[in-house]
Every structure is written in structure tokens, then in C-alpha cells.
Chains A and B, each alone.
Chain A
Amino acid sequence: QVQLVESGGGVVQPGRSLRLSCAASGFTFSSYGMHWVRQAPGKGLEWVAVISYDGSNKYYADSVKGRFTISRDNSKNTLYLQMNSLRAEDTAVYYCAKPRQLLWFGELSHWGQGTLVTVSS
């Protein structure tokens, strides 16, 4: 069965960096585009970034563009989110998510359990 396991969250000071990982199993990781979606405490869902199956194409939400970088290592079945210049408003649970189909942008059928990032001095 599909499993997505995020890690790397924690407490970080404003302006610092953090890298999240998402270990995938149970499906052919290298065939699927993958997403990061975040949720601030008590708030709704916000899409963050997507990467194509081979890593050649990436898109970002305006709120993170220029500060966050999505990447993947298909040999390790792992998705990453490098977060630089962190701000208090980046505090959220970060989920990695897999589309149901091989289309990058579609419904997200599988989600990890999330990892909490807290940006605070």
C-alpha cells in the first residue's frame, strides 16, 4: 500500500533554513509528480509546490517562491522541500501528497501524516 512518511520538521528561528523529507513506498515513485501542501495551526490547506515525475519541472506558490525549493531523488524514493529564509507565517504542518493519477495536477489521493514546522525566536 502507498505510504508517505515526512520528517525534518522542528522549531527554527526566523531567517534560518530547514529541509523536509518525504519517504515514499508502495508505488512507482519515479512515475508520479509529487506535491507539498501545508496547513497553519487552525487554518485551511495551502498548496506549496509540485515537482514533475523526473524533477525537470517545478512550480511554487507565490508565498514561497524564491525561498523554498522542491526536489526529489528517485533512486531513494524521496521527496524534499528545502526551506530558506523562514518566516513566522511559514509555521504549519507540511504534508507531502501523491496525485491519484499520473497527471501532475489532479486530485491528491494519498497524504503523509505531516511534519510540523514552527518558526519562532
Chain B
Amino acid sequence: EIVMTQSPATLSVSPGERATLSCRASQSVSSNLAWYQQKPGQAPRLLIYGASTRATGIPARFSGSGSGTEFTLTISSLQSEDFAVYYCQQYNNWPPVTFGQGTRLEIK
């Protein structure tokens, strides 16, 4: 089973600033990596797939990069609605698909 490790666990950033979230896989997942955003009481929302492709309707301030074992989600200029929990997910080696433990992005 591939283990996904996200860092940091919590990230405090001011609105308008850039946020950089990391995700590391225990072995290569190629580019088969997705990012999700989850707000309290809501289902996860797909942001990025294929490591770097924005899902439908996702603003351009969200970008993903990386391949193999190291991945990054960048939010270029944080808006109030971006404060949430973010999860990465690999779907290269399955079953099972595996998720990271999440990064909580909070207002500084």
C-alpha cells in the first residue's frame, strides 16, 4: 500500500498571500495524483488531477505540480473561501487508493 504524507499538518497564512502544501508518496505514483478541498460539513471537492490539471470550475489561483513521489499544491493569493482542509490522493497503485492525512489551511 502506498502511504501518502502531507505537510505541514496545519498552515497559517494571511489572506492575499501564497500557500504551498506538500504531499509525498512512499513510492512513485507517476502523475496519478489528485488534490481535494474540504470545508466543514461538506463533501470533498476535486481541485487538481493528473498532478497539475485543474478540475472543471476551479480558479486559476490553484495550481499543482510534481511527479513521482513529491507533489505541491499552490494557492497563489488566498481568498477567504480557500481556508479549508486539503487532501492529496494517489490512484496509481490500487487497490487501495490512498489519501494523505490532510493539511488544514487556516487564517493567520
Tell me the A residues contacting B by CB distance below 8 Å.
Answer: 35, 44-47, 50, 59-62, 95, 100, 105-109, 111-114
With A50-B95, A109-B49 given, can you name 20 additional A-B contacts, CB distance below 8 Å? A35-B97, A44-B99, A45-B99, A60-B95, A61-B95, A100-B46, A106-B32, A106-B49, A107-B34, A107-B46, A107-B55, A107-B91, A108-B34, A108-B44, A108-B46, A109-B55, A111-B44, A111-B45, A113-B43, A114-B43
Tell me the B residues contacting A by CB distance below 8 Å.
Answer: 32, 34, 36, 38, 43-46, 49-50, 55-56, 87, 89, 91, 94-102
Task: List, in ascending order, chain A residues with CB within 8 A of B50's CB.
Answer: 107
Asked if B55 and A47 make an inter-chain contact with CB atoms under 8 angstroms apart, the answer reads no
Task: List, in ascending order, chain B residues with CB within 8 A of A45's CB.
Answer: 36, 38, 44, 87, 89, 99, 102
Contact count A vs B, C-beta below 8 Å: 62
- 8 smallest beta-carbon distances between A and B, as pairs: A107-B49, A111-B43, A107-B34, A59-B95, A105-B94, A45-B99, A44-B102, A47-B97
Residue ID in chain B nearest A46 by CB atoms: B99
Main SS at interface, chain B: loop
Residue ID in chain B nearest A99 by CB atoms: B91
Residue ID in chain A nearest B53 by CB atoms: A107
A59 CA to B93 CA, complexed, in Å: 13
Shortest distance in angstroms between B36's beta carbon and chain A's nearest beta carbon? 8
A58 CA to B79 CA, complexed, in Å: 40
A98 CA to B77 CA, complexed, in Å: 30
Shortest distance in angstroms between A69's beta carbon and chain B's nearest beta carbon? 15
